[in-house]
Amino acid sequence: MPESKIAYCGPAALPDDLWTRWNLDPLLLATLVTLAIVVGRCRSSEARAGFGAIGLLLLIFVSPLCAMSSALFSVRVLHHVLLIAAVAPLLALAFPRRAVGSLPIVVLVAGHAITLWLWHTPGLYTWGLASVPAYWLMQMTLLGSAWLLWRAILVPSTSGSALIALVATIGQMGLLGALIVFAPRPLYLVHLASTASWGLEPLADQQVAGLLMWVPAMLPYLGVGVWIAWSSLRSSEPAL
């Protein structure tokens, strides 16, 4: 089967050439340098979170992980999970919500869920890898919707609604992951020609991707939920 074209990150990486496949896109590197300059002007705690996010962005878009995500759907899902469950909350800490009057958290939860599900429907997923503008539309809408949601979740005064938002997000991601795991046939045909190079059947690659979204992806949400619940209980305890 001929290999499908992946617009960004280049052709699917092979095991023999993986460590030579760094993405040195000048525009991407310039954007990350600009972001680092902006982060450097933040307060120390916010700057640490911002530089952590930049480090993960380097891993996702510059390191050979980028080329590997062209080869395997499971690595592409790992890429998306890192983007929405690690980079986005770090950026939310670095650039928190300052003003009142943002969109209601229920709208942010729904908007992020719709964005995540749409980009993982097979047709739109394939379209998102077919051109550079479509690729970056996929990345920016996933990251942007997740960042807005995490900013609302991490506001200290919204612990009740934040916990509900976290539970809803865990639920919808788990459902999407389960549907991908139990699909009876490969759905993401753009990767069919490259999975064999990594010793995986296409359906097995898809099942690994679904498991990543189903279980590991929920851990940051679960951890933040436990922290919010614990902080809320501590603050409600009477002072001795």
Q: Are 6 and 190 contacting, i.e. CB atoms less than 8 angstroms apart? A: yes
> pLDDT value at position 232?
77
Positions of the chain with pLDDT under 50 = 1-4, 239-240
DSSP 29-51: HHHHHHHHHHHHTS-HHHHHHHH
User: Identity (one letter) of the amino acid at 197?
Assistant: S
- pLDDT of amino acid 100: 55
How far out from the chain centre does Cα 233 lie? 30
Q: What is the mean pLDDT of the chain?
A: 91
Give 53-57's long-range contacts (Cβ < 8 A, gap of 24+): 53/87, 53/90, 53/91, 53/94, 56/82, 56/86, 56/87, 56/90, 57/32, 57/87
Instruction: Quote the pLDDT of residue 159.
Output: 79
Diameter over CA atoms, the chain: 71
Q: What is the structure's pLDDT at 231?
A: 83
Q: What pLDDT shows up at residue 239?
A: 46
DSSP state of 6: -
Instruction: For residue 130, give every residue at least 6 positions away whose Cβ sits within 8 Å of its Cβ, in sequence order, or none.
Output: 5, 7
Task: Say which amino acid occupies 27.
Answer: L
Residue 70, SS3 per DSSP: helix
* Separation of alpha carbons 184 and 62, rounded Å: 34
Q: What is the DSSP letter of 238?
A: P
Burial, 36: exposed, middle or buried (Cβ in 10 Å; 0-12, 13-18, 19+)? middle
